[in-house]
Structures are given as C-alpha cells and as structure tokens.
Amino acid sequence: MTTIGRNFDDIDISALATSLGCVPRDLATDSLVLEDVVAADPLAGDSPVLLRGIGNIDFDARAASALGIPLLLLIDAPGPHVDVTLQEASALGAVVAAAVTAAEAADVDKVKAALQVDVEPVMSAVVFETWLLKKAKGYNSHIVLPEGDDDRILQAADELLKRDICRLTILGDPEAIRARAAELGLDLSKATLSNPLTDPRAEEFAEKFTELRKSKGMTLEEARETMKDISYYATMMIHMGLADGMVSGAAHTTAHTIKPSFQIIKTVPGASVVSSIFLMVLRGRLWAFGDCAVNPNPTAEQLGEIAVVSAKTASQFGIDPRVAILSYSTGTSGFGPDVDRAVAALEVAKKLDPELHVDGPLQFDAAVDPVVAAKKMPESTVAGKANVFIFPDLDAGNIGYKTAQRTGHALAVGPILQGLNKPVNDLSRGATVADIVNTVAITAIQAGDK
C-alpha cells in the first residue's frame, strides 16, 4: 500500500495503480477510508491499495506514517524545493520511497522497486482505534448499556451495531428509546431494549441478590428496590450470564457504576484490589498508565499487585509489557517513605510474577529515555523502554494522564477496570461518542479474553 503525496493532471493515477497491481483510492479525511486501508489483509486476498494524497505534505506524510506505508512523491521537476519537501516528510515520520516526475512514474518497474521498503506503522489514534474495533468484532461479545436515556449512548450504539462490533442490550423505556433514536436518525433495530421496571426477570434478580447479600442483612423487599437501579440491574445481568460486560458512567458517578460490581461480580481469585489503567496513544507510542481512577493511596502490596495486573491488561491490547513503578527517585538516588514503598512494591510484583519485566523506583525520564536510563539504571531491562507506568497514588496518576491528554494531545482510552470477575467499565460524564465506542470495544475484548 502506497500513498501518493502530489497529483498532476498528466499522470493517470488509476493507470499507475493498475500497473502496480493496486486498487486506487483517495486519501480522504474520513477515518472510515483509513480504516479500510489498515484492515486490508493480503493473506485474506485483499488487494493492496494505492492512496492518492490530498497534495498537502503535512497530511499525506502523517497519514503514511500512521498507516505504515511508503510515500511516493510526484514532483514537477528536481530542485531544492524537493529536498525541503523530503526533509519535511521525514520529520513527520514518513518513509519516502521515491520522488518521481510524470515521465519517471511511467517506468513501473522502477517505481515498484522503489516501493519495496519495510515500513513500520507509527501508532496513532486512527491505527489504534481501528485495531481495537477489529479485535472486538472477533469476539461477538454481549455488552449491556444501562443509560438508554443519554443521546451519546444511543449514538454510540448505532455506530457499534452498524459495524457489527458486538451485541448490545440497552436499558430504559423501549418506546422512549425508539422514539429518540428515530428523532436522531439512528438504527437500533439490532439492539435488545429492556426496561428494569417492567422486566419479569427483575424478581429473579432480586431473589438472587438477596442470597448474595444475606450476610449483610439484605431482605427480598430491599433487593426488589435495589433492582430498580439500572447499575445494579445491569450488573446482575452479567452475573446471571445474560451479558458479558457493562459500560456505564456517561450520566452517573464512578461510584454508582462500580459499587454494584464489588457486591455482585466481586474480584478474581487472588486479587485484593480493583484498579484501572488508561491506554495512552501519543507520539507514535501505545502506553498504559495506572492506577489513574480508583485507588487514592495504594499500599506497597496493592501497588505491586496493580503493576502485575496492569501488565496483564496491557498485553490484551497489543503491549509487550515493561513495567515502571514511578517515583521521584531512580533507584537509590532519593530516599523517604514514598521511595521505600516503591521498593517494596517492586518486590511484591516480582514475587507475584517472576517473569515480568518490572523495575522501580524510576523517574519518568529514566523510564522512557534510553540516554537517561543508560546513566541512571544501565542494568535495567525496563529503564528507557517502559510502556506500562504505575503511578504512586491517584493524585499523580490522574494528573499524569490528563497532562498527557491535554498538552501532549494524547488519546486516552479508559479507565479500564481490572481485577473483577467480569468486565465493567466506567465512562467520564464528559465522554464523547467516540469515547463510548472505544470503551465498549475494550469491554468486549476483556470479555472475550476471559
């Protein structure tokens, strides 16, 4: 697959594509076009694609870089301006296969030879989201969305169903949901709509919840009232095997979303704490930040456990984990109770998973910069190469991910809850439709990997 950075009237792009054995396409700003290219699989018989650029080197070079395809520049004539363009494309991460004139482009064998270069795709929001949705689609998981009265939930459901990413149950008044979907021009015909207030299964759920909470003095009457709460009802659906996971929080607090999980789904064997990670796409990298949403002040034991669980979660999303337990100290460069806690957390993590690449305490620069790592921690298998970052507390974690998101233009996907028997994920109340789609896809993958 090759992208063409310039286009001139005297070059027949369709003919060139045919000569190269490619299908011509336009490199549009519509992400669906880019998704088609990323998803092309030669082993499945998909034809390679020749993308016609828009003529803006900034856009074309970034797209080629993100997609991991070579850039073929069409030029009017050689000259200093071409050198400047080549430097600009390279600075944007693109691999330029060749810069050819119209006459040179007619030499198909020469163009083919120039295009035989290996290009690694640079991680980007488009690449990651495409990979995420494609993987989620393969599991056909069943996800319940309790907040059927929120337009963003309905819009996200329409997009998910349109692409057949997963099966959905949406809670709320079915008639009201259908009417609002029609007003918004959405197709929710493939979704199951259920009203907790009228569903006959609510009695069975109440009885089961009474059993689960009888040691806490739960009565059947109290359980019936509890099942009128959409979060409890949706969580009970998961517990009863009627759904594989839940996504909520667009209109409710984190506590309202995950509290029922602690009471009904509970934690996996051996887990003492529920925690979270954010998947962060920034500067061509895919990283994981944890815990940025749940535990205010984890102990050393909890921090070590979070490190191990975060590595497992990260591996579900294509990360080969190298875990840094972050601190204001690298090794023995600093001292104090917080450094001692990081040292103890490292020992806990190593005991829980002796094969895991984990190190700490590490300052952030030592964790990500090979030059700094060579000076401060030359023997470490993590320093300078870390991709999973464990923050010492919720203050640091929340500030860290939001700083990267707001000033580094990172795509932050999450929080992804970990440590529960079944996947439940929380949305920010400011979540966009794209955030909801991504979180549902993540939940579907977690459910499928169980």
For residue 14, give the CATH number of its domain. Answer: 3.40.50
Which CATH number characterizes residue 234's domain? 3.40.50.10950
Domain region containing 49: 2-122
pLDDT over 70, % of the chain: 89
Give a yes or no: residue 130 inside a domain.
no
71-74: strand order across its sheet:
23-26, 49-52, 2-4, 71-74, 96-100
Same domain, 322 and 415: yes
The answer on pLDDT for 36 being more than 90 is no
Would you state the pLDDT for residue 61? 80
Same domain, 102 and 201: no
The answer on pLDDT for 45 being more than 50 is no
Q: What is the mean pLDDT of residues 220-232?
A: 90
H or E element at residue 220: helix 220-226
Res. 214 pLDDT band, cuts 50 70 90: confident
Query: What radius of gyration, in Å, describes the C-alpha atoms of the chain?
Result: 25
**Per-residue pLDDT reduced to its tens digit, 99-119:** 777 777 777 787 777 777 666
Nearest to 37 by CA among 5, 66, 74, 8: 66
Give a yes or no: residue 128 inside a domain.
no
Contact 258, 424 (CB under 8 A): yes
**Per-residue pLDDT reduced to its tens digit, 423-441:** 999 888 888 898 899 999 9
Q: How many whole angstroms separate alpha carbon 112 and alpha carbon 278?
A: 41
Give alpha helix (H) positions in 318-448.
337-352, 364-368, 370-376, 394-407, 433-448
Give a yes or no: residue 442 inside a domain.
yes
Same domain, 95 and 192: no
- Structural domains in the chain (count): 3
Which of 122, 156, 177 corresponds to the end of one domain?
122
Same domain, 105 and 194: no
Give a yes or no: residue 41 inside a domain.
yes
Contact 171, 147 (CB under 8 A): yes
168, amino acid identity: L
The answer on pLDDT for 370 being more than 70 is yes
Same domain, 244 and 296: no
Which of 122, 154, 185 corresponds to the end of one domain?
122
Same domain, 181 and 223: yes
Same domain, 94 and 189: no
137, amino acid identity: K
Give a yes or no: residue 134 inside a domain.
no
Same domain, 112 and 162: no
Which CATH number characterizes residue 283's domain? 3.40.50.10750
Same domain, 11 and 107: yes
Q: Which residues pair with 72 in a beta bridge?
A: 4, 98
Q: Characterize 255-275 residue by residue with b for buried, 16 or more Cβ atoms within 10 angstroms of its Cβ, and e for exposed.
A: ebbbebbebbbbeeeebebbb
Q: Which of 57-66, 124-133, 366-375 has the highest mean pLDDT?
A: 366-375
Give a yes or no: residue 202 inside a domain.
yes
Which of 67, 87, 122 corresponds to the end of one domain?
122
Same domain, 158 and 199: yes
Q: Where are the beta strands (DSSP E) in 380-428?
A: 388-390, 411-418, 424-426
Would you state the pLDDT for residue 120? 57
Main-chain phi, psi angles of 346, to 5 degrees: -60, -45
Q: How many whole angstroms separate alpha carbon 432 and alpha carbon 438?
A: 10
Give a yes or no: residue 183 inside a domain.
yes
Higher-confidence residue: 424 or 96?
Answer: 424
Give a yes or no: residue 127 inside a domain.
no
Question: Which residue has 């979303």 as its token pair?
Answer: 257
Nearest to 110 by CA among 241, 227, 16, 230: 16
Q: Which residues pair with 326 in a beta bridge?
A: 362
What token pair was written down for 42? 């030669």
Same domain, 254 and 297: no
Same domain, 176 and 75: no
Res. 450 pLDDT band, cuts 50 70 90: low
The mean pLDDT value of the chain amounts to 85
Res. 180 pLDDT band, cuts 50 70 90: very high
Nearest to 351 by CA among 403, 304, 392, 319: 304
Distances, alpha carbon 21 to alpha carbons 38, 73, 107, 116, 261, in Å? 18, 18, 14, 14, 53
What is the number of alpha carbons within 13 Å of residue 60 lying toward its C-beta? 26
